[in-house]
Amino acid sequence: MTTGSADTNLLSMRMLHLGLRVSDLERSLAFYTAIGYATVGTVPDTAFGSLTMLQLPGDPFVSLELVHDPARPVQDIGAVNHLVVQVDDLAGTIDELASRGIVAEPPAELGAGMRTSWLTDPDGYRIELVQWPPGHPAGMTAADFVQ
């Protein structure tokens, strides 16, 4: 894995959200709201189809956009490897998801106190739940790759 810094001559940038094409909007909304997302807004008619903006509790911004066009169902999920969602309590999250009918894989310890588990959404997209060890920053940084 390579590390490095972004070109400092570029304008300030940050990742906003991921647009994920879904085959059945209602089924996908039921899944994503069950794992904690809330609908922030919708844009019904675009060149891509309808857009539904989702946000996790505690996040200041939308992080997921469900893109739905009945004429263009999901045919290949291979371009998206996985989504990652940070949780504070992995065991508690897995229990809560189970109470909502969503089965998560057994948790795994990845060293240094990082724990993960996996879910699969209705279209087959994989979602990794991550619990950072105590004291870890809220996101991944170059420090995570120092050997």
pLDDT in tens, the chain (147 residues): 445 555 555 677 777 899 999 999 999 999 999 999 999 999 998 999 999 999 999 899 999 999 999 999 999 998 899 999 999 999 999 999 999 999 999 999 987 788 999 999 999 999 999 999 999 888 888 887 766
Cα angle for residues 45, 46, 49 (degrees, 5° grid): 80
Q: Of 35, 38, 28, give the one whose Cα is nearest residue 61.
A: 38
**The CATH homologous superfamily of the domain defined by 18-69+80-137:** 2,3-Dihydroxybiphenyl 1,2-Dioxygenase, domain 1 (3.10.180.10)
Closest Cα to residue 112, out of 91, 142, 136, 140?
136
Q: Count of CB atoms within 10 A of residue 36's CB?
A: 17
pTM of the model: 0.84
pLDDT value at residue 27: 97
Cβ-contact 36, 57 below 8 angstroms: yes
Q: E strands within 49-125?
A: 50-55, 64-68, 83-86, 108-109, 115-120
